Amino acid sequence: MKTAEEVTNLVRATSELAAFRPCAFFDSRLDCIRVIAKDCSVTETRVNPLLTVLEANYPDVAGRKCVGFTIKGARHFCKEHALDLSTPIKISDLLDAVLKAMPDVIVEAFVDHVARPLVREVKIEQVEPAIIPDASPQRA
Amino acid sequence: MALVRISGRTGPYFEILEARSPDSPSEKVHLGVRYDTFRRYATLGLSSAIAQYYGIVQDGLMDAKHAFRGLVRPLMHNGDADADRTVIIYSWRPEADWEWRGDRFSGQVVRLEPPTHRVFVVLVREEEPGEFGVAGSIEKWNWIMEDLDLSEAPVEWGMRYGEKLWTRGGP
């Protein structure tokens, strides 16, 4: 197993490594929208087949546990809710669509009491379109 | 088992790793991490995910305890509405977790005890092996709660995934 120093050096040597900033983007290869508020180790907890919550594995004592979420099946979801994934989508419009698509007490509580305050706090305002083109030979 | 790794850019791949075949854990396949996938992690500043790649995925993928095929959720890719069926999921419980602490320049990776009752999963999209002989692209890796009944498997794996392909050293 590598040492922490070895892994640190490998990370530092990663080309184009930028400073983290909270972000929301369309992951075209896994067809989902990822909202990430903190760079840390996370556990992905499934709320339902469309919604997954990202929870920090080692939260600060005073820090929040939820550090992001994922909306799966984004192409179909956005098409159903007239959201265009090829252009930036307002995060508030996305969350409104989540509530409309999943009228459920748990989802409503998550959106209103976790997701909206989270994106407001870290100033995520829109979902960026895909930054990686679709292009890979698929297995038949 | 010897670990074969082809570092450095090879076609669209940032790196090619050896992994256990979805068809049989005693056979090997080559899986690639796409340059674009790794670049996305880098440009977003997701240093902890990169640290987990080097600390867990790169050396630990061969330690996978289980393999599953198919995500039970909508996934369209390259116009294929059934792309969820071509995703392989490897899961195991690694010996450590890794997280970046601090800023881009003065920060460092810390080695941590793995979170309790969690397993690590790596998602791979199956591909037709082309000129580089790569059978799939490593798309994503993260922790998930562990199943109560099947050690080192993700919670509710029967609902999450289409089928279990194999378990090493067990049923």
CB contact under 8 A, B55 and A46: no
**A12 within a domain of the structure (yes/no):** no
Looking at the complex, report in whole angstroms how far the Cα of residue B48 sits from the nearest Cα belonging to chain A: 5
**A14 within a domain of the structure (yes/no):** no
Predicted structure pTM score: 0.91
Residues 6+ apart with CB under 8 A from A102: A48, A50, A51
Q: What is the pLDDT of residues A54-104, one digit of tens each?
A: 999 999 877 789 999 999 999 999 999 999 999 999 999 999 999 999 889
DSSP, residue by residue, A81-101? TT--TTS-EEHHHHHHHHHHH
**Residue B9 pLDDT class (50, 70, 90 cuts):** confident
Residues 6+ apart with CB under 8 A from B118: A43, A57, B93, B143, B144, B145, B146
Residue B75 carries which DSSP code?
A: B
Residue B80 carries which DSSP code?
A: B
**Residue A138 pLDDT class (50, 70, 90 cuts):** very low
Q: What is the pLDDT of residues B72-117, one digit of tens each?
A: 876 677 776 676 778 999 999 999 999 999 988 889 999 999 999 9
A58: nearest CB among B39, B99, B127? B99
Residue A131 has pLDDT above 70, yes or no: no
* Alpha helices for A2-127 (secondary structure H): 4-12, 74-80, 91-101, 105-110, 116-121
**A98 within a domain of the structure (yes/no):** yes
Longest dimension (CA), chain B: 47
CB contact under 8 A, A43 and B110: no
Domain containing A108: what range?
20-127
Domain containing B123: what range?
5-167
CB contact under 8 A, B115 and A41: yes
Choose the mutation target among A11, A35, A78, A134 for the interface with B, i.e. most B CBs under 10 Å.
A11
- For A11, phi then psi, to 5°, come to -65, -45
Higher pLDDT residue, A94 or A139?
Answer: A94
User: How many domains does chain A contain in total?
Assistant: 1
B-chain residues within 8 Å CB-CB of A127? Answer: none
Is this complex's ipTM strictly greater than 0.85? yes
Structure tokens at B82: 């059934």
**A5 within a domain of the structure (yes/no):** no
**A7 within a domain of the structure (yes/no):** no
CB contact under 8 A, A57 and B137: no
User: How many domains does chain B contain in total?
Assistant: 1
pLDDT given for residue A106 in this prediction? 94
> In whole angstroms, what separates CA B72 from the centre of its chain?
17
B-chain residues within 8 Å CB-CB of A6? Answer: 54
